[in-house]
Amino acid sequence: MTKFELAKAYDFKATEKRIYKFWEDAGYFQPTNDPNKPDFDPTKKPFVISIPPPNVTGKLHLGHAMFISMEDLMIRHARMKGIPTLWVPGSDHAGIATQLQVEKALAKEGKTRDDVGRDEFVKLAWAWKEEYGGHIQQQIRRLGASCDWTRERFTLDEGLSIAVREAFVSLYEKGLIYRGPRLINWSPNLRTAVSDLEVEYSDENGTLYYFKYRLADGSGDFIPVATTRPETILGDTAVAVHPEDERYKKYVGKQVLVPILDRAIPVIADEYVDREFGTGALKITPAHDPHDNEIGINHHLEVINILNKNATINENGGSYEGLDRFACRKKLWADMKAANLVIKEEPYRMSVPRSQRGGEIVEPLISTQWFVKIKPLAEAALKAVQDGQIRIIPDHFTKVYYNWMENIQDWCISRQLWWGHRIPVWYCDDCHEVTVARQDPDRCAHCGSTNIHQDEDVLDTWFSSGLWPFSTLGWPEETPDYKYFYPTTILETGYDILFFWVARMIMDGIEFTGKPPFEIVYLHGLVRDEKGQKMSKTKGNVIDPLTVMDTLGTDAMRFTLLVGSTPGKDTNLSIKKVEANRNFANKVWNAGRFVISALEKSPAKPNGKARWTGADEFIHARMRAVVRSVNYLFENFQYGEAGRQIYDFFWSEFADWYIEIAKLQLEEGGDRAFYTAQTLVRVLEKCLRLLHPFTPFVTEELWQNLKKAIEESGTGITIGGDWAEALITASWPESMPEEEWENTSIQAFQTGIMEIVKGIRTLRLDNKVPFRDKVEITLVTTTLQNLISNDIPLISALCNLAKVNITKTLPQQEEFKNYPSTALPSSGSTLLFHLNNSSLSADKRTQLEKELRGISSQIDRLEKLLGSDFAKKAPPVVVQREREKLSAFQETAEKLKDQINAL
């Protein structure tokens, strides 16, 4: 007797926390790296993932839930395969995001960052990190993430700061980092430069302003020009026209006057100008537009910056000085109108650059910043993918990657922020040379002066993220971790940060370690709402993973995310799906309860040899097939499909069929009961292993209970292998070679028991005979007789039959004419339902004829098929399969005709 009283429903709330603690305390997440430990094997290639570090002050959202589920799946699978497995967790200091939060908190006290000063601000930011930084790590634990918390890292850690310093200095020494004035994207609210990637363009309604550029010669002649940003007129240093434009050719070389300011600027000719667009004349503002900047360089134009750092107009704007850029736009335009310099305004659809973080309009302007000369790094990174050293999944993102790498621009890495890695550059106040050093210097490396000061800027957050796979393992030190675990195996993340992060890690990895930092890039899709829309607070369609876990359980949510996703494709999440998977977790739980209860009905291990029933063989054969298929799918990164197949097998074959049959087989007692219990245990146990990477909690809890129950049952049931300490360390089911009996067993069960039982169920429903009424049937068959001879009691019990008759030919007695019947086309058999109801007989002919029509069309189709080249050219196995189908159909058709004739 087992003393197991498992709850009727799976109680995930009670289970999840306890199980997680059990795993963590037992040290399962922590691979050994100690040569003195017995389980350390330096010849084994470890499986390693570095977590995409979430923002340290972030809150868990579905994007996190997605990658945690995905990576935990990979990690658990590898761990079960017996591979030394490491998943390095950590978080990112998230320069701009965190600084904004701290500034927001300050703003509540009516202060700005300037009020408190840099040192104090950084202290506040650290305090903020200490207070909120742990939250997301706790939330990641709730997801069941089996990462090694003893190796947790933070991008501003001491070790990682050393890595950042090393990376910067080494790039600088190679001439791959330079400083200079260039046109960059300026974020006025944040008062920092941002990289091109951090600018997002949005299509918005704007205005195209047409105005007059008067000639300086006082002729009163003018060139019409259009712009979307009138305030930039203040910084114009030329007007460009196309060299062959008949309208404006004559003006080239002459001077025109900047409106209001009356500054004289040249008219130049450049082929870049599109004669068709606008007025065909282009104002040139080299300081505030990328193209204009290029043209300016080619024509040696003056560069006039008109903006302050907060996007107000500076001293170059004359009377507009101090005005905000947009206020200036209004006022300048009004003034121009008054001066009769305005032609017209028209509505215009334009693409507006906005800051990814703050959302405000970004201004292109000239500023002195630090840049990485990226082309040499990109070339090597490109090659690593081309050569197959790194494989990107799904494949089509390879092209996206190439496209980006081939057109890459230098990367602006300096940020005018306070929260981040300070740029390791010191300026000498005496000789004005720069000192770039790994250790903080106390004097100038050139003149020895102690009058030096460090660069005020910090590095782009992504600069440190790019080093993540190796900086977290100890680089630049040759630590044991670095030597053993680097390069990592898979980099798993969303495709939205392919450029931000993945591409940079590849470039940095190759540059600094000489090796690609990982072998596989697996990109998952974004999680959207059930209609496929992006989740956003304003739309109110945000699903909070914490709430989902609270109400439906972590396993259900993980399973939903994993099974609903295909690599690289966005997935639409709806609560309905999670509910369905909550039901699945409960189904697993209850199947487990049943199997445990079956142990009570099983005697101890018998001496006799195993006697398997058709059902036993069927479920074993299907289990083997599922294991093979799941392994194939895992090898090809098709985790979603793998999960789906396990789900289907578990529910519609194991639970719906085998367990139902097992109930009857257990009643027989003796050996039959023993082998049934053993089959139940073995199949369930294997399913728990397969499911564990998807739904770790319910499977672990059940597995441990099952193990204990078996030990205490005294049945001596084995699982054909060793039990492990815990499911998390149990071995992964490997594929077994396909054997002849598998197919035979599956075929036999499906065409025999399954089809007969389904047929009887259908007859019952069609004829409104409830299950509780016993009925008699006659099975007319030439093929199934031997196959099911032992299964008559089983079929009888499953269908509540009083009697089963088996004949080879249709009975000729008068009464049978009125019996409802159904054809079993895959075996060429017919089922007669003993129910003499003359009111039904009227319909019988039509029903039979309808069935016959269906079957006949199948026969026609197959005859045609088999008469075609198909028979000659298709593989014999395939042809044979169709032949068998045809003969079964033909037999069915004969029987149907006989019945019709007998009416």
Partner RNA sequence: GGGCGGUUAGCUCAGUUGGUUAGAGCGUUGCGUUGACAUCGCAAAGGUCGUAGGUUCGAGUCCUAUACCGCCCACCA
622 contributes a contact to RNA by CB under 7 A: no
Contact call for residues 795 and 804 (beta carbons, < 8 A):
yes
Q: How far apart are CA 849 and CA 874, in angstroms?
A: 33
Q: How far apart are CA 433 and CA 593, in angstroms?
A: 76
Contact call for residues 563 and 557 (beta carbons, < 8 A):
no
Task: Give CA separation, 303 vs 178, 268, 295, 779, in Å.
Answer: 21, 15, 11, 95
890 contributes a contact to RNA by CB under 7 A: no
Report the residue number, 374 or 428, with the smaller CB distance to RNA: 374
- Which residues within the stretch 768-797 sit at the binding site for RNA (CB under 7 A)? 770-772
Of the candidate residues 156, 268, 458, 591, the single one contacting RNA (CB under 7 A): 591
Report the residue number, 272 or 326, with the smaller CB distance to RNA: 272
Report the residue number, 151 or 593, with the smaller CB distance to RNA: 593
Of the candidate residues 449, 536, 583, 718, the single one contacting RNA (CB under 7 A): 583
326 contributes a contact to RNA by CB under 7 A: no
Report the residue number, 86 or 523, with the smaller CB distance to RNA: 523
Of the candidate residues 648, 725, 738, 773, the single one contacting RNA (CB under 7 A): 648
Q: How far is the CB of 766 from RNA (least distance, A)?
A: 8
- Which residues within the stretch 184-213 sit at the binding site for RNA (CB under 7 A)? 196-197, 200-201, 208
Q: How far is the CB of 102 from RNA (least distance, A)?
A: 27
Report the residue number, 371 or 484, with the smaller CB distance to RNA: 371
Question: If DSSP codes are grouped into helix, strand and coil, which group holds residue 563?
Answer: helix
Among residues 349, 406, 365, 373, the alpha carbon closest in space to that of 199 is found at: 365
- Which residues within the stretch 481-520 sit at the binding site for RNA (CB under 7 A)? 496, 499
Report the residue number, 126 or 499, with the smaller CB distance to RNA: 499
The region of 67-75, 274-282, 383-391, 791-799 touching RNA under the rule CB under 7 A is: 274-282
- Which residues within the stretch 212-271 sit at the binding site for RNA (CB under 7 A)? 225-229
Q: How far is the CB of 421 from RNA (least distance, A)?
A: 24
| Token pair listed for 761 | 């169920």
Q: φ and ψ at 454, to 5 degrees?
A: -80, 150
Q: How far is the CB of 84 from RNA (least distance, A)?
A: 28
Of the candidate residues 762, 807, 818, 887, the single one contacting RNA (CB under 7 A): 762
Of the candidate residues 656, 725, 773, 884, the single one contacting RNA (CB under 7 A): 656
Of the candidate residues 597, 747, 750, 783, the single one contacting RNA (CB under 7 A): 597
- CA dihedral 204→205→209→210, nearest 10 degrees, is 110
Residues 810-849, one symbol each (x = binds RNA by CB under 7 A, - = not), give ----------------------------------------
Assign 3-class secondary structure to 350-406.
Answer: EEEEEECCCCCECEEEEEEEEEECCHHHHHHHHHHHHCCCCEEECCCHHHHHHHHHH
Question: If DSSP codes are grouped into helix, strand and coil, which group holds residue 510?
Answer: helix
Residues 657-686, one symbol each (x = binds RNA by CB under 7 A, - = not), give --xx--x-----------------------
Structural Rg of the chain based on CA atoms: 37
Report the residue number, 187 or 513, with the smaller CB distance to RNA: 187
536 contributes a contact to RNA by CB under 7 A: no
Report the residue number, 152 or 660, with the smaller CB distance to RNA: 660
Contact call for residues 517 and 488 (beta carbons, < 8 A):
yes
- Which residues within the stretch 681-700 sit at the binding site for RNA (CB under 7 A)? none
Size of residue set near RNA by CB under 7 A: 97
798 contributes a contact to RNA by CB under 7 A: no
Contact call for residues 728 and 700 (beta carbons, < 8 A):
yes
Q: What does the DSSP assignment read for 224-236?
A: EEEES-GGGGGG-
Residue in the structure block whose two tokens are 């019990």: 797
Question: If DSSP codes are grouped into helix, strand and coil, which group holds residue 433?
Answer: coil
Report the residue number, 412 or 810, with the smaller CB distance to RNA: 412
Residues 742-761, one symbol each (x = binds RNA by CB under 7 A, - = not), give ----------------x--x
Residues 843-882, one symbol each (x = binds RNA by CB under 7 A, - = not), give -----------x--xx--x---x--xxx--xxx--x--xx
Residues 337-376, one symbol each (x = binds RNA by CB under 7 A, - = not), give -------------xx-------------------------
| Token pair listed for 355 | 């800051």
Report the residue number, 170 or 631, with the smaller CB distance to RNA: 631
Question: If DSSP codes are grouped into helix, strand and coil, which group holds residue 776?
Answer: strand
Report the residue number, 159 or 394, with the smaller CB distance to RNA: 394
Contact call for residues 260 and 335 (beta carbons, < 8 A):
yes
- Which residues within the stretch 129-168 sit at the binding site for RNA (CB under 7 A)? none
The secondary element (H helix, E strand) that includes residue 493 is strand 490-494
Q: How far is the CB of 90 from RNA (least distance, A)?
A: 25
Q: How far is the CB of 429 from RNA (least distance, A)?
A: 37
Q: How far apart are CA 598 and CA 584, in angstroms?
A: 21
Of the candidate residues 289, 555, 616, 700, the single one contacting RNA (CB under 7 A): 289
Of the candidate residues 129, 288, 582, 620, the single one contacting RNA (CB under 7 A): 582
DSSP secondary structure code for residue 249 in this structure? G
Q: Cβ–Cβ contacts within 10 Å for residue 397, how many?
A: 18
What is the distance between the terminal CA atoms of the chain, rounded to a whole angstrom? Answer: 58
- Which residues within the stretch 387-446 sit at the binding site for RNA (CB under 7 A)? 394, 396, 399-400, 403-404, 407
Report the residue number, 87 or 589, with the smaller CB distance to RNA: 589
Q: How far is the CB of 816 from RNA (least distance, A)?
A: 24
Among residues 588, 817, 545, 544, the alpha carbon closest in space to that of 683 is found at: 588
- Which residues within the stretch 547-576 sit at the binding site for RNA (CB under 7 A)? 564, 566-567, 569, 571-572, 574, 576
286 contributes a contact to RNA by CB under 7 A: no
Q: How far is the CB of 873 from RNA (least distance, A)?
A: 4
Q: How far is the CB of 556 from RNA (least distance, A)?
A: 9
Report the residue number, 274 or 712, with the smaller CB distance to RNA: 274
Assign 3-class secondary structure to 400-425.
Answer: HHHHHHHCCCCEECEECCCCCCECCE
Q: φ and ψ at 530, to 5 degrees?
A: -65, -15
> Which residues contact residue 596 at a Cβ distance below 8 angstroms, ignoring those fewer than 6 apart?
2, 4, 6, 705, 706, 709
Report the residue number, 318 or 394, with the smaller CB distance to RNA: 394
Assign 3-class secondary structure to 616-637.
Answer: HHHHHHHHHHHHHHHHHHHHCC
Helix axes of 639-648 and 670-691: crossing angle, nearest 10 degrees:
160
Q: How far is the CB of 351 from RNA (least distance, A)?
A: 4
Q: How far apart are CA 469 and CA 842, in angstroms?
A: 76
Q: Cβ–Cβ contacts within 10 Å for residue 1, how many?
A: 8
Report the residue number, 115 or 530, with the smaller CB distance to RNA: 530
- Which residues within the stretch 59-88 sit at the binding site for RNA (CB under 7 A)? none
Report the residue number, 346 or 815, with the smaller CB distance to RNA: 346
Sign of CA dihedral 887, 889, 895, 901: negative
Q: How far is the CB of 481 from RNA (least distance, A)?
A: 33
Report the residue number, 258 or 659, with the smaller CB distance to RNA: 659
